[in-house]
Structure 1
């Protein structure tokens, strides 16, 4: 058993010496796939508001926004948390999004394909705007 472990360790060390293998590893990591490029949050421009139907066995409509990330130009769909949040977001607003922390970096619960969550609108917390504690700045 110890000999096999030693051989596997040596093989891994040899692979890491090769540039091509290391580049392939980097591509497969989260930073290579993730639209946020490994960062916890990102700013995005709202393109449109949508409603998405939940997966079985749940029913109901979920409010989401289609956004374009400012730093990479990629388009992602972000979930609007709680009731009434969609009233405070308009097209062309700058929002801050973060991951919804689903299993293995994927979607959470019955929301199909939505991996991100809106937390700020024009630099102010969406929750504070929704509760009426702060007003949304006009840009």
Structure 2
């Protein structure tokens, strides 16, 4: 049975192991353990007993705008609803913080559209996102990710 929980610093090693293939392929931006530790409260884990099988972060950019990022589900468990469970929990968390919009940059357009996200132009994203995160990407500045937003 899959359960959701907030991570503890001791989970960072397992989180980094889970995301490593996605980072290597350029699907997810690299985040070192210090950065994950600093932002540990923004993550939500999906666990099967004690094993982390997926996670995602809700990163707050402004009082009204947050981002779903660093989203991964173990390869062999994809398509079973775990990702939807995580993202829906993050949208509820955004509601708790009274954030009105949540965006994502992704290659998984259809997944996010099924959850109610709609495509927007990347130019609508906060400029600090581009210079704080996107510049670290091995595909920068030629990016083919899709920007999508969810109105709460």
Fold in common (TM above 0.5): no
Q: TM-score, normalised by structure 1?
A: 0.27
Larger RCO: Structure 1 or Structure 2 (Cα < 8 Å, ≥ 6 residues apart)? 2
